[in-house]
Amino acid sequence: MNSRRNFLQKLAASVVTFPLLSSEAIACMEQTGSMVQDGPPLRVAIMGLGSYGTRVAEAMKDCKRARLTGVISGTPAKITNWQSKYNIPEKNCYNYENFDRIKDNPDIDAVYVITPNALHREHVIRAAKAGKHVICEKPMALNAKEGQEMVDACKKANVKLLVGYRMHFEPKTLEIIRMRKEGELGKIMFFQGLSGFAIGDPGQWRLKKELAGGGALMDIGIYSINGARYMVGEEPVWVTAQETKTDPEKFKPGVDETIQFQLGFPSGAVASCLSTYSMNNLDRFFLNGTKGFAELQPSTGYGPIKGRTNKGELTQPHMTHQTVQMDEMAAIIMDGKQPVVSVDGEEGLRDLKIIDAIYEAVKSGKKVKLTI
């Protein structure tokens, strides 16, 4: 009751500030408890104006706490286009050669790195050295060694490092995590994660080892890795993995097409996952405990996410993932808010340690022990 009353008090205050909140959004915030408080905005420069960068920029139009104030791009025509579309002044526009100068720009608090995977390490470390907080897309880096260097560099520069794990703020996902934490599913025994899509254009960077760092596992399988951890609520202690390749022409050496992997957790729970670049309609999580189950399908796409548990359909309303993510990240960076599931550099590093172990298990055919 108390928390409901507190919520309604906060809501009454917020209606003055945000009269355009939809009833769906209000209902969603009530159900998830996700409510970003007023406060200073996080002024963000997006680096890499590609397909996902564009999606983030569009979603940020509806943010309450995060604001797009700058861009970093290697394509002058995109910069001009974004300047007029998002009202970005010339002095807040950079390219990859000169963006270290961002350190002298008081209009930018954080850089959001949305470039191909192999560039994340350099881009994050340079942004950190320029004294800016950094949000980095998944996978945070190509391997745990690089990830550790990025975490260390951000610590040294005294800036925050977050990873773009948008599902950590998704209401139906959070409801399952709440049920698991409160024991409503009993002892967790099993998780299944299926993550994949049939990839198109063979010339794209996602199919180039030097830019992608691998194949489907780095790009889409990471959702099952990360999901296994937040669904089960433990860190894995071993992995086994098997690779299959049906098209060695498209999927060159070092670029995985399909990997099945299994994770073992300290409690005895196990996860069985599939990561692939050659099957569509593969986006499903299933969690099984001694008292109940939860399933999400789709589980990590842009939504709406759909799901049910042994108690019935999950009804939390859909909100644009990237809008919620950026508002929540603003509160994490500016107010020190603690998210339900961490999105910091250490969290990104844990997934990279598991990715390293999966590739090692594929190579050796053996069970690989993990300490995370």
Q: Which residues are catalytic?
A: 138, 223
Q: How far apart are CA 133 and CA 173, in angstroms?
A: 27
Contact 273, 361 (CB under 8 A): no
For residue 309, CA distances in Å to 28, 165, 306 come to: 18, 23, 11
Q: How far is CA 1 from the centre of its chain?
A: 33
Size of residue set near ligand NDP by CB under 6 A = 22
Output the smallest distance, CB 217 to ligand NDP, in A.
12
Among 146, 170, 175, 219, the residue binding ligand NDP under the rule CB under 6 A is 219
User: Does 70 engage in binding with ligand NDP (CB under 6 A)?
Assistant: no
Three-class SS of residue 117? helix
How far separated are the first and last CA of the chain, in Å rounded?
39
Interface map 164-183 toward ligand NDP (x if CB under 6 A)? x-x-----------------
Q: Which stretch binds ligand NDP (CB under 6 A): 74-82, 262-270, 285-293, 311-319?
A: 74-82
User: Does 195 engage in binding with ligand NDP (CB under 6 A)?
Assistant: no
Site residues (CB under 6 A) for ligand NDP, limited to 118-157: 119, 137-138
Place of tokens 């098209």: 247
User: Does 78 engage in binding with ligand NDP (CB under 6 A)?
Assistant: yes
Output the smallest distance, CB 137 to ligand NDP, in A.
4
Copy the structure tokens of residue 132: 């800016």
Output the smallest distance, CB 111 to ligand NDP, in A.
13
Q: How far apart are CA 303 and CA 299, in angstroms?
A: 8
**Angle 36-222-257 (CA atoms, 0-180°, nearest 5)?**
150
User: Does 213 engage in binding with ligand NDP (CB under 6 A)?
Assistant: no
User: Does 298 engage in binding with ligand NDP (CB under 6 A)?
Assistant: no
User: Does 274 engage in binding with ligand NDP (CB under 6 A)?
Assistant: no
Among 116, 264, 339, 348, the residue binding ligand NDP under the rule CB under 6 A is 116
Q: How far apart are CA 103 and CA 164, in angstroms?
A: 22
Output the smallest distance, CB 136 to ligand NDP, in A.
8
Of 315, 314, 343, 317, the closest CA to residue 328 belongs to 343
Q: How far apart are CA 12 and CA 36, in angstroms?
A: 14
Q: Which stretch binds ligand NDP (CB under 6 A): 46-54, 228-236, 265-273, 352-360?
A: 46-54
User: Does 48 engage in binding with ligand NDP (CB under 6 A)?
Assistant: yes
Output the smallest distance, CB 322 to ligand NDP, in A.
8
Among 11, 27, 41, 50, the residue binding ligand NDP under the rule CB under 6 A is 50
Helix (H) or strand (E) holding 72, with range, is strand 66-72
Report CA torsion sign: 109, 113, 118, 119: negative
Residues within the interface to ligand NDP (CB under 6 A): 48-53, 73-75, 78, 114-117, 119, 137-138, 164, 166, 205, 211, 219
